[in-house]
Chains A and B, each alone.
Chain A
Amino acid sequence: MNNKTTYISSIILVIVLLILPFVLPEYPLHLFALCGIWIILVLSLCLLQGYIGELSMGHAAFFGIGAYSSVFMTMFGGFSFWAALPLSGIVAMIFGYLIGLVALRLRGPYFAIVTLGFAEIIRMVLVNWKDVSGGPDGIIGIPPPDSIWLPLIGQISFAGKIASYFLIYIFVAVTVYVVYRIVKSLMGYAVVSVREDLDYAECVGINTTRWKRFIFSISAFFAGLAGSLFAHYVHFISPYSFGVSESFDLVIMIIVGGTGTIIGPIIGAVLLTLLPELLHAIKDFRMLIYGAILVVIIMYAPGGIAGLLKSFSNRYFPNLTTKKGI
């Protein structure tokens, strides 16, 4: 899509997102807020998988690290939520950096396996270290973000759904912006070159190891941020929210939505958060239907939904589209 259509459609999207909380009943609004958290997560994974080309199969671990460290800081460390939020991102980022030091020496499937193993280690620690993490029972009674005072609006309490919804979507916007800037600035060329041909990128002057480590850290940061938002939004965390199936959900969202784009994973996240609710009636067959959808998409639309949309608009609105590699 060219600049003008992108601009108009994003304005429409923002207006819809602004109106949504005032027209939706509480439960659907709750779902949309959860969607927002998944969007942050899936974008962080997309930056890693779709742009630098390394797949993390244990991305929920960083989500969990962010959630637990934020809870420790606010409930036991006496931190304000507003300090704990960025700090929990940084904690996840430090973990990401350290794992990256070791794991990013490996490539392709080996990196995926190391991250999978790492996620499992984190989960086992959370389950078994009962004194600190509360074990399988998790931690209950997590306070909502501290209320703040803003000019023009006044005192905002985050106990209600609407304020939390806006808080989450502000961070969705921040994530989209940062990923967009990385991809569209000069950095994007280096990042994509690593995905396209690692050895050759090294021979045209790209320090591929450093770039991979850097992008992995950024990715872990946003996953940690999402974890902090999640913990203080649902007021309860347990190791079961950050397991292998969550990591795989993220991968599925990317594949369904379309990798290597920004809009694709967002579509995937929204679809796969809302779809289970729509399929409530046939709950037992849910995973079966997931599987079928995944197979169909991999076989007939390897570019995911974003790829389908693009070829659709190329065919019917050729004057709206431009040829651009990245």
Chain B
Amino acid sequence: MELLKIENLVKHFGGVAAVDGLSLEVRQGEILGLIGPNGSGKTTVFNLIRGVHDPTEGHIYLGGKELHGKKSHEIVKMGVASTFQGLRHFSKISVFDNIMVGCHCRTAASLWFSFWRAVLKTKLAQKEQTETKEKALKLIDFLGLTPYREELAENIPQFMQRRLDIGIALATEPSLLLLDEPAAGLNPTETIELDNLINRIRKEKEITVLLIEHDMKLVMGVCERIIVLNYGKKIAEGTPNEIQENQEVVEAYLGKENADLVTFE
């Protein structure tokens, strides 16, 4: 069963077609890799899904519901969470507070209602606050960030910051998690830990993962299916083994003349 379905998606920036007639589907419970050379439109696809850009043409459905025209924060509430390239979190507040911000979109919906509850300090509001804090602490434990809980986010090691980014996304309780180059800048040991973390997210939290990554070792290891983009078009789709043997993919990455030299690890 498909969780996310993209139909004939097109995005133009001026005269450039960043995404050009892309169709794909993400199945419930899988880890799907999205790879391609630089500039092939991977991040643009992510930005279209999370509502940062509006598509020029085409449709995106999450569990049958159209995402087009929805604002970013509404899409998060519908169950799509994402991380960004590089590091993106609230760097001047603590790790715990960062996770709490992520949790916020699952708390009382109406603003005035939560205002009066907060001011009058009702039992229900106190209970919700305690529960949210417990949830955040549990998530921090899941991510292995407990020793850094009270530190400012900008002061913790880079890999921990990367985990924090994923943690904020998880705190919004998504059904689909978009990871944009989570292994960039990590050393091999850290990449293995990240591999574990992604697997645990799928298994323990039952979240479907869509992954953009240049680290082929990670992609081939963790993904069940891979989709390859080039110039905004899908050029291949299949299991890691099929992709490694696909001549067109190899050519896209290395150019025609070098294609016979390649071996994927």
Contacts and interface: CB of A to CB of B under 8 A. Distances in A.
Nearest to A218: B115
A82 interface: no
A141 interface: no
A255 to B, nearest CB: 18
Interface residues of A, number: 31
A282 interface: no
Interface string A307-323: 00000000000000011
A203 B104 contact: no
A189 B121 CA distance: 17
Looking at A177, A197, A322, A325, which has the most chain B CB atoms within 10 Å of its CB? A325
B90 A323 contact: no
Given A202-B71, A206-B101, A192 B121 contact: no
Contacts of A178: 119
Q: Main SS of chain B's interface residues?
A: helix
A201 to B, nearest CB: 7
Contacts of B72: 202-203
Interface string B120-153: 0100010011001000000000000000001110
A292 B108 CA distance: 47
Nearest to B91: A196
B73 A200 contact: no
A166 interface: no
Given A205-B73, A205-B76, 12 more contacts: A182-B115, A186-B129, A186-B132, A192-B90, A192-B93, A196-B91, A196-B92, A202-B72, A203-B76, A204-B169, A324-B150, A325-B94
Which A-B residue pairs are the 8 nearest by beta carbons?
A205-B105, A205-B76, A325-B93, A185-B118, A325-B94, A196-B90, A193-B101, A189-B100
Interface of B: 50, 52, 71-73, 76-77, 81-82, 84, 88-94, 96-97, 100-105, 107-108, 111-112, 114-115, 117-119, 121, 125, 128-129, 132, 150-152, 168-169, 171-172
Interface of A: 177-178, 181-182, 185-187, 189-190, 192-193, 196-197, 200-208, 210-211, 214, 218, 322-326
